[in-house]
Amino acid sequence: LIAADCKITVDDSSVFKHPEFKFEVPRDMQRPPTELEKIAWKIEENDYRGTAYFVQIQVEEPEDKGKGYVAFHGIGGGASMLAADALLRKGLKIANYADTSGNPPASKIYRLIKVILSQPGIEGYALMGAVFASQEQWHHAHAIVKAFREELTDRPGFPVVILLAGNKEKESHEILRDGLKDLPIRLELYGREHIYDTDLIAEKMATLVEEYRKER
């Protein structure tokens, strides 16, 4: 018996044990990693507190600008897939896939949001996830406020849709409203009462993007 082919999988957390493989970014992709993906991996590489996953779908700056490319930030794989599908059904395009589940600290989420917002040609930011009992959502709230205040002060009317639910939900929404109230962005904030309304939230995102496009 001769094996004609084989495939191995190396766990992300054990990559440091195998420098001989020379993985720049240990993600399952069929192309070289982008500069932003390399930066995002550095956030994840030595910090095992939760996930900060990021991969670009729109690798180059889109030639068809003004066509609804939005930065996508999910919390939890299954809920993120449902949310991304809803955005696509409303005619928007996903510039990236990102996930910050597993209860990462605010510092880790903040750095990933900075990467997400650094993508060229994006016309909005959507954060959507499920109701989580395993993590306190005010870590996301603090991270969002800090990153937005650094990245969005010079993007008037930039569309932002946030669905944030779970532990410390009320406090998280208060942090977001208070911390973002003087930013010149279009903000829509949703909680657990809209957790199954992904199409409604995606429709709102599409409307905000259209309004943003008309004013630019």
- Across the 216 residues of the chain, what is the mean pLDDT of every consecutive 10-residue run? 81 70 69 88 88 86 68 87 91 94 94 96 90 80 98 96 92 96 95 90 95 87
Classify residue 27: in a domain, yes or no: no
Classify residue 119: in a domain, yes or no: yes
Classify residue 114: in a domain, yes or no: yes
For residue 149, the surrounding DSSP H or E stretch is: helix 138-151
**Which domain range does residue 199 map to?**
32-215
Spell out the residues 6+ positions from residue 2 whose beta carbon is closer than 8 angstroms to its own: none
Q: Report the pLDDT value the prediction gives residue 85, as an integer from 0 to 100.
A: 92
Contact 87, 126 (CB under 8 A): yes
Q: What is the dihedral of CA 108, 111, 116, 119, to 10 degrees?
A: -160
Classify residue 70: in a domain, yes or no: yes
- Residue 98 maps to which CATH number? 3.40.50.261
- Total number of domains in the chain: 1
pTM: 0.86
Contact 134, 94 (CB under 8 A): no
Classify residue 4: in a domain, yes or no: no
Q: Report the pLDDT value the prediction gives residue 131, as an integer from 0 to 100.
A: 67
Q: Report the pLDDT value the prediction gives residue 216, as an integer from 0 to 100.
A: 77
Classify residue 7: in a domain, yes or no: no
Q: Report the pLDDT value the prediction gives residue 45, as an integer from 0 to 100.
A: 86
